Amino acid sequence: MSKRDDLITKYAADIKDKIGETPDMDFLTKVTIGCGPSIYNKDASTVSGGDQAELDTVKNNFLIKKLGLSDGPKLDEAISSVMEKYGKSNRSKYRAVVYYLLAKHFKKESVYK
């Protein structure tokens, strides 16, 4: 297995164990590939739920630029909801899992087709 496959397996386990959902492996793989080399960097591979600058980056670079959503309170609410679902006390929230959950939330799986 490649390093990316190992990470996808780890992300799937996170979705199953911490969120209690069965991951869509094809979609999770596409989201992970879409994250590019950031998944291999310890700092860039995670999202800090308590860092507003980081949450703004998720909103601007992923929700607005990648998914094509319009800025507004619904984006902040969705990010907050995903952070809550992933577990506030869970320090390492993987970027690929956060993006996966946000894309699912907005039903934007078609962006990765």
The pair of structure tokens assigned to 43 is: 């700092």
pLDDT tens-digit profile of 95-104?
999 999 999 9
What does the pLDDT read at residue 6? 97
What does the pLDDT read at residue 113? 82
- List b or e across 32-49, with b for residues whose CB sees 16 or more CB atoms inside 10 angstroms: bebbeeebeeeeebbbeb
Check the CA dihedral 18-34-54-78 and report its sign.
negative
Residue of 27, 31, 51, 48 whose CA lies nearest to 39 = 31
pLDDT tens-digit profile of 20-30?
999 999 999 99
Q: Which of 21-25, 49-53, 107-111 has the lowest mean pLDDT?
A: 49-53
- What's the rounded mean pLDDT across residues 32-38? 96
- Tell me how far the alpha carbon of residue 4 is from its chain's centroid: 15
pTM of the predicted protein model: 0.96
What does the pLDDT read at residue 52? 93
Using the predicted structure, report yes or no on whether residue 88 has a pLDDT greater than 90.
Answer: no
